[in-house]
Chains A and B, each alone.
Chain A
Amino acid sequence: MPKGLVVIDKDRCKGCGLCIGACPFEVLDFSGEYNSAGYNVAHMAHPERCTGCAICAQVCPDVAIEVYRLQPDKLKEGA
């Protein structure tokens, strides 16, 4: 299981792409899926690389991203 997980609120996302550029592991990309406002929303293109650093959520101007991290005990079980 990857260390981190991001959940992007598709209705809030305005497709500005700042999270995509800010992610140090190139996890995020445009999904090609358009929301009701007509924006091309971001999604996790490579979820396996996510570390849960939350840089994407920090730079998101619309506070559309929630970040989850694997609990430390689960991390040991996985390793």
Chain B
Amino acid sequence: MPQASTQVPEGYVKAFFRPRSLSDAKYTYCPGCHHGIVGRLIAEAIDELGIQDRTVGIAPVGCAVFLYQFYRVDFVQAAHGRACAVATGIKRANPELVVFSYQGDGDLAAIGTAETVHAANRGENITVIFVNNQVYGMTGGEMAPTTLPGQRTTTTPEGRDVRLTGYPLRISEMLAQLDGPAYITRQSVHDVRHIQMARRAILKAFRNQLEGKGFSLVEIVAACPTNLKLPPPQANRWVAENALKYFPLGDLKVKGG
């Protein structure tokens, strides 16, 4: 923000600014999209731990496919759903690197379920950020495995019928049953209190990797205002009132504590 310094009168100090690990590129997300908040929390965690020069991110396929443009860290863009497998390879070949994957529900919970479950079961020492917005955002708002029962999407115009398409997949609960993962938690970013809690969870997930504790996954229950066809403030309310009933927040597994 070059114009910022000229506008600020004397006597004021910076209290909140763009994290250093975020590049100057503008986000390509829709207005009010929670991907942007999660992206900033990850950049803040990277800055706070001082690991910018040895972090490698894995970008998914989905709305966050251009993630590599938004960060000042190295990135690999994985084939659809394969981010955990790519992260495993990078981490095993270069154990000194900090490797995180960033995936949506269409990527991690649908086409990439096998890779995710096995990476978690092997207890790979990687960090996974899973943004669950209950819909396939980029391709036009189709039903995802995490779509709520009765929720209208472009492929379930009458609402999701559980007799035909099954029930929403609770990935975090599923992975928490396994012996491999070190840390599985579910958070949300629909208000400032939950943003702070999500920030601490993401920080812990990165710290676990630095301490060699193993597989850490942070699920973020997010809103997609565009496909919910709601203004962003109402979309946040929708998450609080509907999505969080099916996807309760909290730590599901914390190894050794």
Contacts and interface: CB of A to CB of B under 8 A. Distances in A.
Contacts of A16: 31-32, 225, 232
Choose among B13, B14, B16, B29 the residue with the greatest number of A CB atoms under 10 Å from its CB. Answer: B16
A54 B32 CA distance: 17
Given A16-B232, A17-B231, A17-B232, A1 B16 contact: no
Contact of A58 (B4, B11, B12, B192): B192
Contacts of B236: 18
A11 B196 CA distance: 26
A74 B27 CA distance: 36
A4 to B, nearest CB: 7
Contacts of B27: 12, 61-63
A58 B4 CA distance: 18
B29 A61 contact: yes
Interface residues of B, number: 37
Query: In which size bucket is the chain A interface?
Result: 20 to 34
Contacts of B143: none
B37 interface: yes
Nearest to B34: A61
Given A59-B195, A61-B27, A5 B33 contact: no
B7 A54 contact: no
A9 B22 CA distance: 15
Interface string A1-45: 100110101011011111001100000000000000001000000
Given A14-B30, A16-B225, A17-B32, 16 more contacts: A5-B8, A9-B1, A9-B4, A16-B31, A16-B32, A21-B233, A22-B192, A59-B37, A59-B191, A61-B32, A63-B18, A63-B39, A67-B14, A67-B15, A69-B15, A70-B12
